[in-house]
Amino acid sequence: MTLPAATLDHVVINARDDMDRAADIYRRLGFTLTERGYHSLGSTNHLAMFGTDYLELIAVPKGATSGRLDLLDFSYGLNGLVFGSEDSAITYGALAKAGVPVEPPVEFTRPVKVDGAMRDARFRTVRMKAGVVPYGRVYYCHHFTRDLVWRDEWRHHANGTVAIARALIVEADPAAGAKLYADMFGTEMARDIEGGKTVVVGNSRFDIVTESRLKAEFGDAVPESDGRKAYMAGLTFRTTSVTKAARALQEGKIGGVTEKAGRLVVPAKQALNAVLEFIE
């Protein structure tokens, strides 16, 4: 049996029901955002597109009484890590056969304005069953209309970001947390690092570490845990220029930014409860 390849599709920042605030913050962080999108499932989003992956801001409309109300159950900040799938039916079948607890594929759409005309971007996702992931949402996304999502005019950012290099996850027992990914992709994809485990995800990686290890690396810049024992903590972005990123953050009036050893760190309180790092 061949397990799906581990490739990063996108990461998700949860804005709960305050998309206006989230969009303003991430624009001031130097990201170019797509126009606001409206999913057929009831959520809204903005995207920051990179070379082969992207950042998604997601929320439910204020006052909504139906749709993606589950987003209100999560804290602000990073709460979605999404793998790519070329065929969601095959992905689902392989994972189910391997004993990975996944739900059957779900299809949905989002209107996109391209060259003055409205078209439907179409997706199908394969999600983990409820309760499997204690720190957020982990799933696969199959794009049927990639040409409506990865468009060059959306890939240029004032902060120079070209890719997501790392996602940070806090788990009291990183080895136990890494087991899911070993089951999904094979044991060789999870490796030991200081204070935890890392999962190789194409050109990116997911670091699963203890809270003490996170604080040792990022100090006071770490997000509020809100009493959670496990949570998604932040992201590392690859930029064409740390100097360019620093200039964008300064122009956006982002406070508390630190620079050390060629990397920039934005404290979580300045980025909707997700610590952000920029490296070359």
pLDDT tens by residue, 225-235: 988 999 999 99
pLDDT in tens, 82-127: 999 999 999 999 999 999 999 999 999 999 998 889 999 999 999 9
Integer Cα distance of 17 and 242 in angstroms: 32
The pLDDT of residue 65 is 67
The helix/strand count (H/E) of the chain reads as 5, 16
Give the DSSP letter of residue 36: P
pLDDT in tens, 149-189: 999 999 999 999 999 999 999 999 999 999 999 999 999 99
Q: What is the pTM of this model?
A: 0.95
Residue 12, helix vs strand vs coil: strand
With a CB cutoff of 8 Å and minimum separation 6, the contacts of 261 are none
The pLDDT of residue 260 is 86
- Maximum separation of any 2 CA atoms in the chain, in Å: 51
Q: Are strands 137-143 and 106-114 parallel, antiparallel or unpaired?
A: unpaired
Taken as a whole, the chain contains a residue count of 280
The pLDDT of residue 244 is 98
Span 13-36, mean pLDDT? 97
The pLDDT of residue 67 is 74
Question: CB–CB of 200/6 below 8 Å?
Answer: yes
Q: What is the 3-state secondary structure (H, E, C) of 172-201?
A: CCHHHHHHHHHHHHCHHHEEEECCEEEEEE
Rg for the chain, CA atoms, rounded? 18
Does 137 score more than 80 pLDDT?
yes
Give the DSSP letter of residue 72: G
Mean per-residue pLDDT of the chain: 95
Integer Cα distance of 35 and 45 in angstroms: 8
